[in-house]
């Protein structure tokens, strides 16, 4: 336990030792503010007064905003760059690293998990196929087993059952697994442009509090969910609308007094159980809109928040339900589908109907109930037709309109993330593009990493 920080160390590091803090006290700003006012903090000058920042140089010329050409600092260089730290991105980064590549992952928010955590999508659907058989294996399944051990998930392994997770446990576990794998991480970093050389993606431009910087990479995995990076790289895609909702969690359900409520009064939809007792997660479908349009996204946030709050007040007015309250609305809006890659291959509904066998299969997709047979996912669905050195993973891979609602389920995003990570590492190792990468080698490594390919 050499590296473990004791409470005493913590207080010393934070500069608050010797304050006589009693056992069980809250450590942090709240305590400092209460007990010692604002006097315990420390601040130093990083750059001298009158600093001017020359990184920003957009100008207004004759009514047009012009961004002049400028040289960007390179933040880092890596083998595999994964953009987006959701279910697909995290699994891709771990897979690529385990396959021997140097990996950097970049995420626009301050935590990992994407819609799974920030969107509070706590229910895992889509890991099973007819049988019922669990088709999502590999790193995604490893994550689920670890969550179960941490008491961070309700996992009923009975036929057709779907696990529910605790978002905080997922966020913690993802940090643990990314650190174990020794992946370089940049949070609070938004991918905004592609660094292109002819038809090839050579890196990505990011915007953060440190300004606009580039990361150079041999191969890039676009796990942004919205295909932000493959679009910037010049890949072709389909721009789709879908339902945009907002998930919430409600609490104190274990304090409902149903003896006070008549059957007619009982609220119909109160969501589903989570690993936290008395707390449910509540899904919201929302209207079909364009999830890439800024004005629409803003309107959805405002409207959904008003709707959820109003609904909660109605529930609290029901006798016996007075203590129920809104724990939180998801910090991340529930955007389901936006850009879908035009891949070398496309996952289609016919693949399920005909149980198509793909020679380049990189995994098997499942459904929420075991009514569907196994459907193999071809590697070509991750590879753009028109851009090189970039792979898609997660909800933006190439699929027809009717398949999107299966492709986007979390376990299926684990599966395509896993494949994209391994394929990126193979392309780097063999000094080729993902399009040219040896599919038998990708399949071999995926199997070694416990993936199920059908
Ligand atoms: C309301 C709702 C309910 C759902 N219900 C279920 C369900 O019950 N069960 C189920 O299995 N699935 C469900 N889904 C689907 C599932 O949550 C998503 O499809 C899945 O999380 C997609 O994973 P992903 O990794 O592809 O993308 P995301 O989860 O969207 O993750 C993408 C990550 O990339 C980051 N990112 C995006 N753009 C950039 C950028 N430019 N630069 C840097 N980082 C970026 C994001 O912050 C995010 O962390 C639901 C989805 C929604 C919206």
pLDDT tens digit at each of 454 positions of the chain: 344 555 555 545 544 443 433 333 344 444 444 555 667 778 888 887 778 887 778 899 999 999 888 899 999 999 999 999 999 999 999 999 999 999 999 999 999 999 999 999 999 988 888 888 889 999 999 999 999 999 998 877 565 678 999 999 999 999 999 999 999 999 999 999 999 998 899 999 999 999 999 999 999 999 999 999 999 999 999 999 999 999 999 999 999 999 999 888 889 889 999 999 999 999 999 999 999 999 999 999 999 999 999 999 999 999 999 999 999 999 999 999 999 999 999 999 998 889 899 999 999 998 877 777 889 999 999 999 989 999 999 999 999 999 999 999 999 999 999 999 999 999 999 999 999 999 999 999 999 999 999 9
Q: Which of 389, 286, 384 is nearest to 340 (CA)?
A: 384
* Pocket-testing residue among 410, 419, 421, ligand 1, by greatest number of atoms within 8 A of Cβ: 410
Main-chain phi, psi angles of 302, to 5 degrees = -65, -50
Q: Are residues 88 and 216 in the same domain?
A: yes
- Whole-number pLDDT of residue 3: 47
Tokens, residue 251: 């609490």
Structural domains in the chain (count): 3
In a domain, 131, yes or no: yes
Q: How far apart are CA 56 and CA 401, in angstroms?
A: 41
- Whose CA is closest to atom 20 on ligand 1? 410
Q: Tell me the CA–centroid distance for residue 225 and ligand 1, in Å.
A: 6
In a domain, 291, yes or no: yes
Tokens, residue 290: 């364009």
Quick check: CB of 125 below 6 Å from ligand 1? yes
Q: Are residues 301 and 315 in the same domain?
A: yes
pTM of the model: 0.92
Measured from the Cα of 126, ligand 1's closest atom is 11
Measured from the Cα of 411, ligand 1's closest atom is 11
Q: Are residues 176 and 324 in the same domain?
A: no
Q: Are residues 288 and 405 in the same domain?
A: no
In a domain, 42, yes or no: no
In a domain, 169, yes or no: yes
CATH number for the domain spanning 107: value is: 3.50.50.60
Tell me the HSE value of 210 on the side-chain side, using a 13 A CA sphere: 13
Quick check: CB of 291 below 6 Å from ligand 1? no
Tokens, residue 147: 């969550």
Q: Are residues 347 and 430 in the same domain?
A: yes
What residues have CB less than 8 Å from 405, skipping those under 6 apart? none
Quick check: CB of 271 below 6 Å from ligand 1? no
Quick check: CB of 88 below 6 Å from ligand 1? yes
In a domain, 128, yes or no: yes
Quick check: CB of 124 below 6 Å from ligand 1? yes
Q: Tell me the CA–centroid distance for residue 411 and ligand 1, in Å.
A: 12
- Whole-number pLDDT of residue 21: 37
Q: Are residues 94 and 201 in the same domain?
A: yes
In a domain, 45, yes or no: no
Cα angle at 312 between 310 and 315, to 5 degrees? Answer: 115
Q: Note down the domain range covering 330.
A: 243-335
Q: Are residues 432 and 369 in the same domain?
A: yes
Q: Are residues 368 and 430 in the same domain?
A: yes
Quick check: CB of 409 below 6 Å from ligand 1? yes
In a domain, 87, yes or no: yes
Q: Are residues 92 and 213 in the same domain?
A: yes
Quick check: CB of 395 below 6 Å from ligand 1? yes
| Among candidate residues 317, 335, 353, the one where a domain is terminated | 335
| Among candidate residues 335, 353, 382, the one where a domain is terminated | 335
Q: Are residues 136 and 156 in the same domain?
A: yes
In a domain, 62, yes or no: no
- Whose CA is closest to atom 53 on ligand 1? 334
Q: Tell me the CA–centroid distance for residue 416 and ligand 1, in Å.
A: 13
Q: Are residues 442 and 368 in the same domain?
A: yes
Q: Tell me the CA–centroid distance for residue 348 and ligand 1, in Å.
A: 21
Q: How far apart are CA 246 and CA 16, in angstroms?
A: 40
Q: Are residues 180 and 323 in the same domain?
A: no
Helix axes 138-149, 410-429, angle to 10 degrees: 130
Q: Tell me the CA–centroid distance for residue 62 and ligand 1, in Å.
A: 41
| Among candidate residues 335, 362, 377, the one where a domain is terminated | 335
């Amino acid at each position: 336990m050499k590296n473990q920080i004791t409470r005493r160390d913590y207080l010393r590091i934070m500069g608050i030792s010797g304050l006589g803090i009693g056992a069980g006290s809250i450590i942090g700003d709240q305590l400092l503010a209460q007990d010692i006012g604002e006097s315990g903090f420390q601040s130093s000058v990083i750059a001298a007064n009158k600093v001017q920042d020359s990184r920003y140089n957009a100008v207004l010329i004759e009514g047009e905003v012009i961004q002049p050409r400028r040289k960007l600092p390179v933040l880092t260089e890596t083998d595999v760059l994964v953009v987006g730290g959701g279910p697909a991105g995290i699994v891709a980064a771990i897979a690529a690293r385990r396959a021997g590549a140097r990996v950097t992952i970049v995420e626009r928010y301050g935590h990992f998990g994407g819609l799974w955590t920030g969107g509070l999508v706590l229910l895992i659907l889509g890991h099973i196929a007819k049988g019922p058989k669990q088709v999502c294996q590999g790193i995604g399944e490893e994550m689920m087993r670890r969550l179960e051990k941490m008491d961070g998930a309700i996992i009923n392994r009975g036929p057709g059952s779907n696990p529910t997770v605790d978002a905080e446990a997922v966020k913690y576990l993802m940090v643990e697994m990314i650190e174990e794998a020794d992946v370089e991480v940049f949070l609070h970093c938004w991918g905004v442009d592609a660094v292109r050389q002819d038809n090839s993606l050579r890196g990505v431009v990011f915007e953060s509090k440190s300004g606009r910087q580039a990361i150079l990479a041999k191969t890039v995995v676009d796990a942004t969910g919205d295909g932000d990076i493959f679009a910037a790289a010049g890949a072709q895609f389909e721009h789709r609308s879908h339902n945009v909702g907002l998930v919430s969690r409600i609490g104190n359900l274990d304090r409902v007094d149903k003896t006070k409520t008549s059957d007619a009064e009982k609220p119909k939809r109160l969501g589903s159980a989570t690993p936290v007792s008395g707390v449910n997660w509540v899904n919201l479908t929302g209207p079909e809109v364009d999830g890439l349009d800024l004005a629409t996204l803003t309107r959805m946030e405002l409207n959904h928040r008003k709707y959820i709050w109003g609904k909660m007040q109605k529930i609290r007015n029901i006798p016996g339900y007075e203590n129920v309250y809104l724990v939180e609305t998801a910090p991340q809006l529930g955007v389901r589908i936006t850009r879908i890659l035009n891949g070398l291959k496309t996952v289609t509904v016919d693949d399920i109907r005909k149980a198509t066998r793909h020679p380049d299969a990189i995994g098997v997709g499942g459904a929420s109930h075991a009514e569907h047979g196994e459907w193999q996912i071809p590697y070509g669905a991750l590879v753009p037709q028109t851009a090189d050195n970039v792979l898609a993973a997660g909800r933006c891979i190439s699929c027809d309109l009717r398949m999107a609602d299966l492709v986007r389920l979390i376990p299926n995003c684990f599966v395509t993330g896993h494949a994209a990570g391994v394929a990126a590492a193979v392309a780097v190792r063999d000094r080729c593009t993902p399009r040219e990468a040896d599919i038998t080698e990708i399949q071999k490594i995926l199997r070694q990493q416990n993936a199920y390919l059908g």
